[in-house]
Amino acid sequence: MTEALLALVPVWGPWVLAAVTFGSCLALPLPASLLVLTAAALAARGELALGAVFLGALGGALIGDQVAFMLGRAGGRHLIQRLNRHPARAALVDQAAALVQRHGMAGVFLSRWLFSPLAPYVCYLTGATGMRRDRFTIASVAGEVVWAGLYTVLGFVFAGSVALLAQVLGNVIGLLTAGALAMLLVLLVRRVVQQRGNGAPRR
């Protein structure tokens, strides 16, 4: 599928980016970051307009975030239970919940670009748990602007090494996500222990 989508980028450009980034925000297994890097590299060669690449990636991501948020709002617990049926997704849902619980709007912002494997699940969870839509939207827009801008610039600057760049970025983001979530889990466990200690009967 990845090769077929890459072949469409020179022809349909920002429209393909918008469709793929939209789908990735709904947790569909689509190579959004790789396609943005590739489109930006084509812009460096004069085959696409750099501004259109950025707007295509950003537009699809923003609409996808809103749709995922509203699906979470409408589906609530039933949607989360359905996501939890798959063990790998269940782990991501738990990690996304920890991120949102600990950091709120900042968690939404960071999940858009720094901890991107959690991005779709953060959208679903914030909708399901009742975060105000205006707060979610502010954090979503800020984060997606960073994500689309970062990948567009990197793809443009490193146009000759897109595949290597995508691999490096994927590894770095994976390590950052794992490290940050390990810290979050430690903090959550620590809070639970403290709460139990404070609530323990005294002699």
Q: Is the pLDDT of residue 32 over 90?
A: yes
Count CB atoms within 10 A of the CB of residue 140. Answer: 28
Of 20, 9, 57, nearest to 154 (Cα)?
Answer: 57
Q: What angle do CA 167, 177, 121 make, to 5 degrees?
A: 105
Identify which has the larger pLDDT, 101 or 118: 118
Are the C-beta atoms of residues 65 and 144 closer than 8 Å to each other? yes
Note the helical H segments in 104-160: 105-113, 119-128, 133-157
Q: How confident is the model at residue 40 (pLDDT cuts 50, 70, 90)?
A: very high
Q: pTM of the predicted model, to two decimals?
A: 0.81
Q: Where are the beta strands (DSSP E) in the chain?
A: none
The percentage of residues in the chain with a pLDDT greater than 70, rounded to a whole number, is: 85
Encode burial over 81-120: b for 16+ CB neighbours within 10 A, e otherwise. eebeeeeeeeebbebbbbbbebbebebbbbbbbbbbbbbb
Spatial distance between the Cα atoms of 165 and 176, rounded to a whole number of angstroms: 16
Spatial distance between the Cα atoms of 129 and 143, rounded to a whole number of angstroms: 20
Element (H, E) at 118: none
pLDDT average, residue stretch 36-51: 95
| Low-confidence winner among 11-20, 150-159, 160-169, 180-189 (lowest mean pLDDT) | 180-189
Residue 123, both tokens: 């959208």
Spatial distance between the Cα atoms of 203 and 196, rounded to a whole number of angstroms: 15
pLDDT average, residue stretch 160-173: 80
pLDDT in tens, 46-102: 999 999 999 999 999 999 999 999 999 998 778 778 877 887 778 778 888 888 877
